[in-house]
Structure 1
């Protein structure tokens, strides 16, 4: 019997851990072949490739991001080969299973919940007696066409599961893709918007095996390893042991990502990381979701925002670990005004990334089961995103989506950090107001429907600020020029602005700098640039304020000066200097 486990990932760089767990557990009795695609691949290409494998059974790992495309694939596969047996598994089909079977007759079997043992037993029955009642946690049709759902099995002993990482065919791809690893299953919390709340308790894999897996992955070129544990730091002793191991044994260039619960992280753990962890080795993802106490109570989410803030602040001050914080718009009881406060509360911490998402009414979750209590209206198809509820009309959701659009481009992508920091601190009432006003303007101009280059982002922000008649535009333009120039490795051929210096003025300043380089400071003097270098490899712009003082103190001193960017052709490094008019 030839068996394939397949999935459609969101991006090429992603890998699917679930199908590797199934393959490992099914071995050696079954030599399962893995086939991964992306949701962007043409359906016909996927179907053609799978059909050519001439499999007897194909299993698909299903999630909200791939279910629609997966259904198209299996529909076509079944039309081509009616004898092919299709198995679906994963969180998207583990709930409302009977509905999936009724609606899509091309689905032969659904494996619910933890799939390793169930999938292997299903294969055994299909190959032998076909007595599927012996298989726990599976949905199928009996000989009369009636849908049968067997009781789910007890939880697996994770310490007995084989490693899903020892496949030679994965080795060539480890350096180019994200490797996902789990050291535990389950979550201690009961947040009603999350599928993890359904499973009670946390179970751990065998620690020494996890360490051996990580050593193996690093030795074979893995660069980005992401832990999928729902709360990596629920056990302080376990987290500390793993942090110590990763610090001691990591290879250069490796990055480890974790989902942590920030308000339970002890200060001594953060102090340890700030002292011991190499910069860039770790990355934290922290779900804040909402700072509204009433909202958190409605979704049974326990969160101490003061302690969360302490953790995020301490980690940020350590300058070792980048942090990605998550918000969810549309939670029960959180209207537009409350979400504005949530956004500002969290942005105040200046996380390296702030992800603004929208509530998805996932199958099986408490918020979906009790959707009528808050008048939720949501998409019938995946990702089941909300359209409105009793306190957040669709018009407000549209406004928040405008915030999301420019937040991603102008904060999370770090294209102009200095400028945005000035705008949210000195120009607009709050950070949310800046992103909202700019996002609405962006949408009105139709820019959300077209592509953009780096220069476009600067021109569009400039256009927005101009039409608002913002004060001190000269300062903002200077900061924008600074942000633009430090993003380049090479001298830009055509910046987004028109040069303000006359050629004669530029010649005069270059002559002065070549004769007296200390005018631009000690660091500039050490470069030993002549006039030819200055003309060929620098950009010079006039400023209306003291840039160096602002960068050091945050104060605006309206003393005119200059901005000089040197693009080193040998190292491809950019050196930026500012000096005052004499």
Structure 2
């Protein structure tokens, strides 16, 4: 698309819908955007635009086979769009493309996840009737489902069991990363495993039975089970990450059973009594952040068990998450 085509559309939306609540979704190629476009986009209302960018792969031979171009400038622009913070960025890669094996897909996964998109979708190639992929299916060794959506089952470069692992990885990315409910936990364990793909792969291989549900508590139990199996010494840090994620996204002002501990119970007692002692006419205002006694009662308290989490995240001995998710760090003296 040319600038004279897409820019008037964006300007029309900003002019006529800039103050509403509607979100407009566009699939874009970042290499088309210039500095003027980026300056314009940096000023649009947060939530007005949502961009989907199909990266597909980071490997040149694969991109050439599917007639795609993703150069260094395109990645720079993606990073700038993400860092703006006002536009939701959705990035895609596809498993099963020509010339990309399991290790190659892992490389694409890690490169794209490293951009920290708001939504990351590792998809599976669909061999649609009448497409070049179908015409060259014998050359590429493609085997696919005869039923819609015609998902590929294996290729010259990817075995069926590898694609099955990738499918489970994609499901876990959706549940843990895209949901935003396990952000701290994902980055912590990705660092431990050496890459994001290695973490999600380990979790996918650990999640091989039907005993796990699909709510927050079940995913937390899956993570704890993995850590207990492979890296028990990491458990205090991972529990800190899980509790922090719960405090950031959970709707209740108490921890689920898997995350309860004497430390959290003592943090609530100590923190509650300390903040109540600072109340003036029913209002509490540590560090200039004011809230009521009722808000205090419905808040959740956090104290880290690991030195690693304390040194990296904490700005005091304790933290309180108010019902509106404001975070206050403090030291009860």
TM over 0.5: yes
Q: In the alignment, which residue of structure 2 is the partner of 1:389?
A: 155
| 1:445 alignment partner, SS class | coil
Matched, 1:265 2:29: no
Q: In the alignment, which residue of structure 1 is the partner of 2:329?
A: 578
Q: CA deviation at 1:499?
A: 2.8
Q: How does 1:271-420 map to 2 (within 5 A)?
A: 271-275=39-43, 277-299=44-66, 301-420=67-186
Asked if structure 1 preserves the Cα contact closer than 8 Å seen for 2:154 and 2:163, the reply is yes
Asked if structure 2 preserves the Cα contact closer than 8 Å seen for 1:520 and 1:578, the reply is no
Q: CA deviation at 1:523?
A: 4.4
CA distance, structure 2, for counterparts of residue 396 and residue 527 of structure 1? 52
Asked if structure 1 preserves the Cα contact closer than 8 Å seen for 2:285 and 2:291, the reply is no
Asked if structure 2 preserves the Cα contact closer than 8 Å seen for 1:335 and 1:391, the reply is yes
Q: CA deviation at 1:408?
A: 0.9
CA distance, structure 1, for counterparts of residue 78 and residue 32 of structure 2? 12
Instruction: Flag the 1:408–1:580 CA change in 2: closer, same or farther, 3 A.
Output: same
Q: In the alignment, which residue of structure 2 is the partner of 1:241?
A: 8
Instruction: Flag the 1:505–1:415 CA change in 2: closer, same or farther, 3 A.
Output: closer
Matched, 1:565 2:321: yes
Of 189, 198, 201 in structure 2, the residue corresponding to residue 433 of structure 1 is: 198
Q: How does 1:190-201 map to 2 (within 5 A)?
A: none
Asked if structure 2 preserves the Cα contact closer than 8 Å seen for 1:548 and 1:578, the reply is no
Instruction: Flag the 1:506–1:278 CA change in 2: closer, same or farther, 3 A.
Output: closer
Instruction: Flag the 1:335–1:239 CA change in 2: closer, same or farther, 3 A.
Output: same
Matched, 1:498 2:252: no
CA distance, structure 2, for counterparts of residue 247 and residue 505 of structure 1? 47
Deviations 1:485-533 (A, max 9, x none): 2213442474532232386775444322222479994145x2253xx76
Q: In the alignment, which residue of structure 1 is the partner of 2:236?
A: 474
Deviations 1:451-492 (A, max 9, x none): 422222222212222222254432321221121122134424
Instruction: Flag the 1:527–1:546 CA change in 2: closer, same or farther, 3 A.
Output: farther
| 1:501 alignment partner, SS class | helix
| 1:283 alignment partner, SS class | strand
CA distance, structure 2, for counterparts of residue 302 and residue 504 of structure 1? 56
Of 432, 442, 445 in structure 1, the residue corresponding to residue 209 of structure 2 is: 445
Larger relative contact order, structure 1 or 2 (CA cutoff 8 Å, min sep 6): 2
CA distance, structure 2, for counterparts of residue 245 and residue 362 of structure 1? 35
Instruction: Flag the 1:481–1:369 CA change in 2: closer, same or farther, 3 A.
Output: same
Deviations 1:163-207 (A, max 9, x none): xxxxxxxxxxxxxxxxxxxxxxxxxxxxxxxxxxxxxxxxxxxxx
CA distance, structure 2, for counterparts of residue 393 and residue 414 of structure 1? 31
Larger C-alpha radius of gyration, 1 or 2?
A: 1
CA distance, structure 2, for counterparts of residue 264 and residue 391 of structure 1? 32
| 2:53 alignment partner, SS class | strand
CA distance, structure 2, for counterparts of residue 372 and residue 357 of structure 1? 22
Q: How does 1:105-144 map to 2 (within 5 A)?
A: none
Asked if structure 2 preserves the Cα contact closer than 8 Å seen for 1:543 and 1:560, the reply is no
Higher helix share: 2
Structure 1, unaligned runs of 5 or more? 1-233, 552-556, 568-572
Please give the TM-score of this superposition, normalised by the length of structure 2. Answer: 0.89
Asked if structure 1 preserves the Cα contact closer than 8 Å seen for 2:304 and 2:310, the reply is no
CA distance, structure 2, for counterparts of residue 581 and residue 245 of structure 1? 53
Asked if structure 2 preserves the Cα contact closer than 8 Å seen for 1:458 and 1:480, the reply is yes
Deviations 1:49-91 (A, max 9, x none): xxxxxxxxxxxxxxxxxxxxxxxxxxxxxxxxxxxxxxxxxxx
Structure 2, unaligned runs of 5 or more? none
Instruction: Flag the 1:574–1:388 CA change in 2: closer, same or farther, 3 A.
Output: same
Q: In the alignment, which residue of structure 1 is the partner of 2:227?
A: 465
Q: CA deviation at 1:440?
A: 1.2
